[in-house]
Amino acid sequence: MENGFKQVVGAAIVDSLARPSRLLAARRCAPEHYAGMWESPGGRGEPGESCEEALRRELLEELGVDSRLGAEVAGPSQQGWPLAAGAAMRVWLAEVAAGEPLPLEDHDELRWVPLEAEKLGALPWIPADLAIVAAVLASVR
Ligand X SMILES: Nc1nc2c([nH]c(=O)n2[C@H]2C[C@H](O)[C@@H](COP(=O)(O)OP(=O)(O)OP(=O)(O)O)O2)c(=O)[nH]1
At its nearest, how many Å lie between ligand X and the CB of residue 113?
14
At its nearest, how many Å lie between ligand X and the CB of residue 87?
5
Residues numbered 12-71 forming contacts with ligand X, rule: CB under 6 A: 34, 39-40, 42-44
CB nearer ligand X, residue 18 or residue 133: 133
CA atoms within 13 A on the CB side of 64: 9
Distance CA 49, CA 63 (A): 19
Please pick, from the candidates 29, 60, 74, 126, the single residue that binds ligand X as defined by CB under 6 A. Answer: 126
Distance CA 32, CA 22 (A): 28
Distance CA 41, CA 113 (A): 14
- The answer to whether 42 touches 10, Cβ cutoff 8 Å, is yes
At its nearest, how many Å lie between ligand X and the CB of residue 68?
19
Please pick, from the candidates 12, 14, 24, 83, the single residue that binds ligand X as defined by CB under 6 A. Answer: 83
- Could you list the residues that contact ligand X (CB under 6 A)? 8, 10, 34, 39-40, 42-44, 83-84, 87, 89, 106, 126, 128-129
